[in-house]
Amino acid sequence: MRLLVRLLQRLAIFGLGIFSVWLIVFVVFETADRRLPWILAVGITYGFAAYIVLPRVIRLGLRILQHQRVPSYTITGDGLPGDPVNIALVGTLQQLRSAFAVSGWSEADRLGLASSWGMIRAFVLNSPYPTAPFSTLYLFGRGQDVGFQKAIDNSPRKRHHIRFWALSLTRAQAMWGAPGFWLNTDRPPDNESVLWVGAGTRDTGLSLTRLTFQITHATDSDTNAERDHIISELTKSGAIGAVKVYQSGQDLPTEHVNHYVPDGEIALASLVVKNPR
């Protein structure tokens, strides 16, 4: 029965793929090509495919494949798989900030018009921007609460970075491993000791997303190595205690999602740096 269900899922996704290709090539492009110069037709077709058609088709495909499964990935604004969850730290917001500060990391600016323009300029000119903003990813029904980064070779094009979402320890202990764990939308108070669920990756340049071909930062596919690097940095600075490793959820299909190769594990540690007075 399970094999039959899986086969039907694959057939449904194959049908979605055929439909999306037909829509992009034989409807959008042919219509634009008849009315506009070729270069404009190509540009319009790309924008329509990458930012409208493919995100929606992929979201529907993921719902079919991951029905009633606990996700191990953050979600982009389009509802597509984002960075994998791979680190969890316990402590207050100030402890979290202090831990990364003593490890030589900078807190990311909030995303806005000014910070976005600053990031574009820094990226084009390859000039330092240690507090460059992050795009917004979603977990627990909200964008990241805070993010930290460390430039590689003082370049805005390459950096270690991690986003964090706060979750009440009481809720985390009661719901860990259950679907409801991922559906919480309430952010705990800043002065409360909480579980900081993090997604860390390493930017390596500029690229197109694998599934929708949108313009984005290129990232190293080995997020396990990035998780280990971040934990190593925090350990060397004395910012965290003993590290334990847990599975990110139950029945998690971690393969063939986006372009990452996660091992399905989350490194958990308690922050030991003192709150600044």
Per-residue pLDDT, averaged over 71-84, amounts to 75
What pTM value is reported for the model? 0.66
Strands, DSSP E only, in the chain?
73-75, 81-84, 87-91, 106-107, 138-139, 142-143, 146-152, 155-168, 194-208, 215-219, 244-247, 265-270
Residue with the larger pLDDT of the pair 73 and 98: 98
3-state secondary structure of 81: strand
Sign of the C-alpha dihedral computed for residues 164, 166, 169 and 170 taken in this order: negative
Residue 153 pLDDT > 90: no
Residue 170 pLDDT > 80: no
Least confident of 35-44, 49-58, 127-136, 174-183: 174-183
Give the model's pLDDT for residue 96. 95
Residue 31 pLDDT > 80: yes
Give the model's pLDDT for residue 148. 97
Mean pLDDT computed over every residue of the chain: 77
Give the whole-angstrom CA distance, residue 30 versus residue 41. Answer: 8
